[in-house]
Amino acid sequence: AQTVTQSQPEMSVQEAETVTLSCTYDTSESDYYLFWYKQPPSRQMILVIRQEAYKQQNATENRFSVNFQKAAKSFSLKISDSQLGDAAMYFCAYTGTYKYIFGTGTRLKVLA
């Protein structure tokens, strides 16, 4: 069975600084997708970034980028130039066939 692990329940970052959120996963599938979702206090889930497993190039979306290490089954999210609006719960998610498997989440606090 597939699993997703986020080992950092909470992280803090100073405004304008960079922070990295960790995610590891376990799977025997060769074709899969990985995602980072943001859940602000409104609780609306927002897609931050996604990575196809067959692509070696790390995905980037403006200030957000991932470090995808397929052999190590690691998928970390780097947030550059952190802003107050980045404060939220961040969930790592895996999908192979159709279901998502979510990690337990990391609460990110941004300090002014």
Partner 1 sequence: GAVVSQHPSWVICKSGTSVKIECRSLDFQATTMFWYRQFPKQSLMLMATSNEGSKATYEQGVEKDKFLINHASLTLSTLTVTSAHPEDSSFYICSARKTGTVAKNIQYFGAGTRLSVL
Site for partner 1, rule CB under 8 A: 33, 35, 37, 42-47, 50, 91, 95, 98-100, 102-105
DSSP secondary-structure letter at 84? G
Residue 3 C-beta: closest distance to partner 1, Å: 12
Identity at 40, one-letter amino acid code: P
Q: Which is nearer to partner 1, 25 or 37 (CB)?
A: 37
CB-nearer residue toward partner 1: 64 or 102: 102
Nearer to partner 1, 51 or 82 (CB): 51
Q: Which residue has the tokens 């690691």?
A: 74
Cα 79 from Cα 70, distance rounded (Å):
20
Q: How far is the CB of 91 from partner 1 (least distance, A)?
A: 6
Q: How far is the CB of 15 from partner 1 (least distance, A)?
A: 24
Helix (H, G, I), strand (E, B) or coil at 55: coil
Measure the CA–CA gap between 23 and 34, rounded to whole angstroms.
10
